[in-house]
Chain A
Amino acid sequence: MADKITIIVHSGDMDKIYSALIVANGALAMGMEASLFFTFWGLQRLKKGALERGPLSKMNLLGLGRWMVKRRMKKAKVASLEKLLKDFKELGGKVMACDMTMEIMGIKPEDLRQDLIDEYCAVGAYMQEARESAVTLFI
């Protein structure tokens, strides 16, 4: 089993995107390989200008909860999702985009941040990554 983590990023919620990116960056920092497979609501966050726009998974309160959490995060000096995704790529992480989601939701490649995406693929490519991963998560 390779020293690798593969995460399905299904949720587009801000807090869950944080979980995925923090865990994935932690893995890269500890010398593992990491792949993120963005699908459904998660893939929405790879649209241009959408990464920081996700709601909170709980107590979003029409954006008020999200605003408060963002403010507390800033105070606690938590890195932005933009920084975490940039670091993920810089440390050699792989970003995969689910092409079925693109078809269902009418997302064109030019709607997405193509500079960040390594592969447009489906379940087969995900399984190839997952079968050689010591850790797999669904977020």
Chain B
Amino acid sequence: METIKVDVRYEACPVPLIETRKALRKASPGDVVEVIGTHPASKKEIPMAVEALKLELLGVEDEGPVWKITIRR
């Protein structure tokens, strides 16, 4: 089981969503994908994508303008 880190800080729509999806495609079942970003809308949209993809959302954390979303493939 691996943790894949995706850093999309300061990237705009739709890059955070795309990079998250790319990482999830490369991940093996059980792997954890950790996305760090600042784009406000993506903080809501990535969990929506996780639900649509029927994957497990492990957490959404906030630290000022930076958020971290953790997903299990």
- A-to-B contact residues, CB < 8 Å: 22, 25-26, 28-31, 76-79, 83-84, 87, 90-91
User: Residue B57 at the A interface, CB < 8 A?
Assistant: no
| Cα of A28 to Cα of B17 in the assembled complex, Å | 10
| Cα of A25 to Cα of B18 in the assembled complex, Å | 7
| Cα of A29 to Cα of B13 in the assembled complex, Å | 12
- Are B21 and A76 neighbours in the complex by a CB distance under 8 Å? no
Q: Answer whether A31 and B14 are a contact pair too, CB < 8 Å, given A87-B22, A91-B21.
A: no
Complex: chain B residue closest to A79, CB-CB: B15
B41-73 to A contact mask, C-beta < 8 Å, 1/0: 000000011001100000000000000000000
| Cα of A26 to Cα of B11 in the assembled complex, Å | 15
A-B contact pairs, 12 of them (CB 8 A): A22-B14, A25-B17, A30-B48, A30-B53, A31-B52, A76-B12, A77-B11, A79-B12, A84-B18, A87-B22, A91-B18, A91-B21
Complex: chain A residue closest to B49, CB-CB: A30
- Are A25 and B25 neighbours in the complex by a CB distance under 8 Å? no
Complex: chain B residue closest to A87, CB-CB: B18
Contact residue among A26, A77, A90 (Cβ-Cβ distance under 8 Å from B14): A26
| Cα of A79 to Cα of B15 in the assembled complex, Å | 7
| Cα of A76 to Cα of B21 in the assembled complex, Å | 22
A28 / chain B contacts, CB cutoff of 8 Å: 18, 21
- Are B22 and A90 neighbours in the complex by a CB distance under 8 Å? yes
Supply 14 further A-B pairs (C-beta < 8 A) apart from A25-B18, A30-B53.
A25-B14, A25-B17, A29-B14, A29-B20, A29-B21, A30-B49, A76-B12, A77-B11, A77-B12, A79-B11, A84-B18, A87-B22, A90-B22, A91-B25
